[in-house]
Structure 1
Amino acid sequence: MKEYGNIIIGFGKGGKTLAGALASKGEKTALIERSDKMYGGTCINVACIPSKFLENNARMSAAEGGSFQDKADRYRKVIEEKRQLTAELRQKNYNKAVGAGVEVLTGTAAFLDDHRILVTYPEGNTEELYGKRIFINTGGTPFVPPITGLKESRYAYTSEGMMELEELPEKLLIIGGGYIGLEFASYYTNFGSQVTIVQDGEAFIPREDEEVSAAVLEHMTAAGMRILRKAAVTAVRDENGKAIASIKTEGGEEELSVDAILVATGRRPNLAELHPERAGIELTQRGAVKTDEGLRTSVPHIWAMGDVAGGLQFTYISLDDSRIVKSQILGDGSRTTANRGAVPYSVFLDPPLSRVGMTEAEARKAGYEVKTARLQMAAVPKARVLKATAGMMKAVIDGKTGLILGAHLYCAESYEIINLFKLAMDAGIPYTVLRDNIYTHPTMSEALNDLFAAVN
């Protein structure tokens, strides 16, 4: 039985970063990944990088125009370029880990007890490992709801499978009105597909600020997307080279014939093959690994990072998780999930939606004396340069202190600007500093001059 100071299960952002840090300290470290197609983790292979590559190319394709066949030809080339990109990144991540002294094992890991891991290799042979410390970084997996005929349909895909689809669907049905579903709706609309979104709730992206949600809904509808709310897909069947979806709406029932169905109904912690119960690891009610503020599990020498720990499902959170764990085992333990500050996020629509902090409603409910600022993007010179005048900015401010409580940006390049807000919020910088700052011109960030001049 091989013995290691550290066994890390999963080649995601947190796992690979921590593995490199530990190996560089001379600690014997094994990194287990079940597939050689997932070196580097979910983000670079089947999520962030390939999907944003599609998003960027979809916008360029929309600008080029042409017939549906022209768009389908471009789409096919983009999928092949995407494959080349992810392959290059996979190899780079593998080389970096090995170069740092990490032993990479390609196989499926399962706990035998709280120190022993059984690895089953693709050839079928197994190996038992002993780890003084063990780190779980197995990520999440798409959830497919129990809709009659859905799993059996040849034309139904999760987000991972959708990005491998070589033929552009003329008609696309998306089950789920969450962020992943809306991103793909935006991509495929720009590529030239006719997109229908089915969501079960009445409220559209209900976690967002009400004004901003309304702006997103208006723009996506105007772009040609059909969004059915308070609706559900009840059954799917394949017929004559199409998927036929039965949809129940407030107005009754209908059948929709489509070329592809994207199932975007969320992700679940990826633990099915790991058997954490054998190690005595406690799970949350939602099936994630239960951790404390230092990301330690109920077993003192086992930690969990990233999506599997049940937190925000962003690759940069997994990266920060590795910093927290590193602080716990190599540092002074001062870095925790409680002090990582405001967490921004972006939804890559067209234009992108970015947020950090509280909505206006949340701030009022929390008892703040709220002031707000709004700016329509048609008033921003750089937005006109980009021919991207749709959308708005909104800031939520503490009327007593002038500190920023939240920011909601539905505009071009919002994914860059939102980081200025995080920095200001974490540093306790009042909105007046951003209002009076000097920005380069023409840029989207200079819109903060006008946005914060409109505080009321």
Structure 2
Amino acid sequence: MKKYDAIIIGFGKGGKTLAVELANRDWKVAVVERSSSMYGGTCINIGCIPTKALVHQANSNVTNELANFEAKEQFYQNAINKKDATISFLRQKNYDNLNNLENITIYTGEASFLTKNDVKVVMDTETITLTADKIFINTGAENITPPIKGIQDSKHIYTSTSIMELKQLPKRLAIIGGGYIGLEFASMYCEFGSQVTILEGANQFIAREDREIANSVKETLEKKGITINLSANVQEIKDGEKEAIILYEMNGDVLELPVDGILLATGRKPNTEGLHLENAGVELDERGAIKVDAKLHTSVPHIWAIGDVKGGLQFTYISLDDYRIIKDELFGKNQRTVQDRQGIPYSVFITPPLSRTGLSEEEAIAKGFNIKVAKLPVAAVPKARLMNKTEGLMKAVVDADTNQILGCTLFSPDSAEMINIVDFAMKSGQDYTFLRDHIFTHPTMSEALNDLFSQIK
């Protein structure tokens, strides 16, 4: 048995940052990662970075100039190769950042709890037991496979992870699920040259978003050639000799869709399988996420959960903020909690990106606010005209009684950057006139915030 001050299970953003923090404070730290292909965590290897690398390649407009599908397929293969090279570099860098520190030992193997202090690690060549007074679980989330007939046997099924390893561009791609992950891949593969069909079981498109924004997103994606079928319930998948046939029910009819590839974008669940949390007394909620308190302690006080494994918003920057909460408890003023996080901004990297912070118009009305609403079509923005990227809509909601910004949604080029400006104004207590009258550089997309908030009368 090997004794450490801390064991961190999982190599994700919060865990790896915490490992360096503890090691620099002379703690002896064991980091356990089950796969050598996951050093650095989900974001680096199968999430944010590889997807955005491919989005960047897809949006280069080169595919629009290619004469045939074979040429587009070659461009796609090159994009996958570039993505792989980038990820390999970052994965090694993340490994070295920890491995080069004297106080950190990395174990590549499957971790499981024996007791509330002891963790078994099964590696390729040996099995060892680690023990520590403090343990941090940072194992992330995994894809959900829905119970559809034929799905387990089909050779044409991909997840958001496995499809990015595919070197052959699917000519016809079906995406089961019309959530944010599904939309990102739909937009990306459409830009690469695939014929994309989305099968969404709900009767409303991206239901949590403002209806005007959602309609603008749907219209833009459909203009690109993406088919979006709502209330489409997939019943069965049958493999043919060279294709798969999806049988789905929509509006009372059972329809068939022949495709070359099927992407499952049906959600993700906390990755706790095999950890044997029951041996440590760590409790899960009804969705299978690890229960935590406001300072990320599990039901066992000396065991914390970080990132996606505890449920809630699945963003890398949430995992990083989890690290800040733990750092503040261990070495700071012990004041930070998850309740400090209000109105987290997010972006969906379709083309153009969809970004939001705060309340939508419908949510603000439901909460009883007296509101004023500002709307600005992207086509009215000079920089958008210069870039010839005029699809989209900007919308902001303001409290009519206090002039405070309640929320903002930007479906526009550069929105992933712009939304941080709005969020900063909101968090710092500025009212909408701050953005209405702020001096921005020109020509930029950010200066559109002047025009957007000028719509408030």
TM class by shorter chain equals over 0.9
Q: Which residue of 1 aligns with 2:40?
A: 40
Q: Which residue of 1 aligns with 2:123?
A: 121
Q: Which residue of 1 aligns with 2:390?
A: 389
- Which digits, 9 at most, give the CA deviation of each residue in 1:153-184, with x for residues without a partner? 11101000010010000000100010000110
Query: Which letter maps to 1:88?
Result: F
With over 3 angstroms needed to count, the CA separation of the structure-2 counterparts of 1:64 and 1:336, relative to structure 1, is farther
Question: In the aligned structure 2, how far is the partner of 1:341 from the partner of 1:300?
Answer: 25
SS in 2 for 1:327: helix
Question: In the aligned structure 2, how far is the partner of 1:426 from the partner of 1:414?
Answer: 18
Is the contact between residue 342 and residue 425 of structure 1 (CA under 8 Å) also seen in structure 2? no
Q: Which residue of 2 aligns with 1:78?
A: 79
Q: Which residue of 2 aligns with 1:405?
A: 406
Is the contact between residue 355 and residue 406 of structure 1 (CA under 8 Å) also seen in structure 2? yes
Is the contact between residue 63 and residue 75 of structure 2 (CA under 8 Å) also seen in structure 1? no
SS in 2 for 1:207: coil
Query: Which letter maps to 1:111?
Result: F
Describe how 1:359-398 pairs up with structure 2 within 5 A: 359-398=360-399
- Which digits, 9 at most, give the CA deviation of each residue in 1:242-275, with x for residues without a partner? 1111111115111111110000000000000111
Q: Which residue of 1 aligns with 2:198?
A: 197
Query: Which letter maps to 1:110?
Result: S
- Which digits, 9 at most, give the CA deviation of each residue in 1:210-241, with x for residues without a partner? 11001001111111111111111111111111
Query: Which letter maps to 1:30?
Result: A
Describe how 1:130-279 pairs up with structure 2 within 5 A: 130-279=131-280
Shift, 1:131, TM fit: 1.1
1:342 and 2:343 correspond:
yes
Query: Which letter maps to 1:190?
Result: E
Is the contact between residue 395 and residue 406 of structure 1 (CA under 8 Å) also seen in structure 2? yes
Could you tell which deviates more after superposition, 99-108 or 131-140?
99-108
Is the contact between residue 209 and residue 361 of structure 1 (CA under 8 Å) also seen in structure 2? yes
Question: In the aligned structure 2, how far is the partner of 1:64 from the partner of 1:107?
Answer: 46
Alignment coverage as a number of residue pairs: 455
Question: In the aligned structure 2, how far is the partner of 1:30 from the partner of 1:399?
Answer: 53
- Which digits, 9 at most, give the CA deviation of each residue in 1:376-408, with x for residues without a partner? 111111101111110011001111111111110
Is the contact between residue 344 and residue 422 of structure 1 (CA under 8 Å) also seen in structure 2? yes
SS in 2 for 1:37: helix
Q: TM-score, normalised by structure 1?
A: 0.98
Q: Which residue of 2 aligns with 1:106?
A: 108
Is the contact between residue 143 and residue 267 of structure 1 (CA under 8 Å) also seen in structure 2? yes
Could you tell which deviates more after superposition, 67-76 or 96-105?
96-105
Is the contact between residue 173 and residue 261 of structure 1 (CA under 8 Å) also seen in structure 2? yes
With over 3 angstroms needed to count, the CA separation of the structure-2 counterparts of 1:431 and 1:100, relative to structure 1, is farther
Gaps of 5+ in 2: none
Any runs of at least 4 consecutive aligned residues in structure 1 with deviations exceeding 3 A, and if so which? 61-65
Question: In the aligned structure 2, how far is the partner of 1:422 from the partner of 1:259?
Answer: 42
Query: Which letter maps to 1:17?
Result: T
Q: TM-score, normalised by structure 2?
A: 0.98
Question: In the aligned structure 1, how far is the partner of 2:345 from the partner of 2:153?
Answer: 38
SS in 2 for 1:230: coil
Is the contact between residue 173 and residue 261 of structure 2 (CA under 8 Å) also seen in structure 1? yes
Question: In the aligned structure 2, how far is the partner of 1:63 from the partner of 1:401?
Answer: 48
SS in 2 for 1:237: strand
Is the contact between residue 199 and residue 229 of structure 1 (CA under 8 Å) also seen in structure 2? yes
Q: Which residue of 1 aligns with 2:94?
A: 93
Question: In the aligned structure 2, how far is the partner of 1:22 from the partner of 1:340?
Answer: 24
Is the contact between residue 6 and residue 131 of structure 1 (CA under 8 Å) also seen in structure 2? yes
Q: Which residue of 2 aligns with 1:7?
A: 7
Query: Which letter maps to 2:134?
Result: R
Q: Which residue of 2 aligns with 1:294?
A: 295
Query: Which letter maps to 2:117?
Result: H
CA RMSD across the alignment: 0.9
Query: Which letter maps to 2:57?
Result: N
Query: Which letter maps to 1:188?
Result: Y
SS in 2 for 1:51: helix
- Which digits, 9 at most, give the CA deviation of each residue in 1:50-85, with x for residues without a partner? 001111111113443431111100001111111111
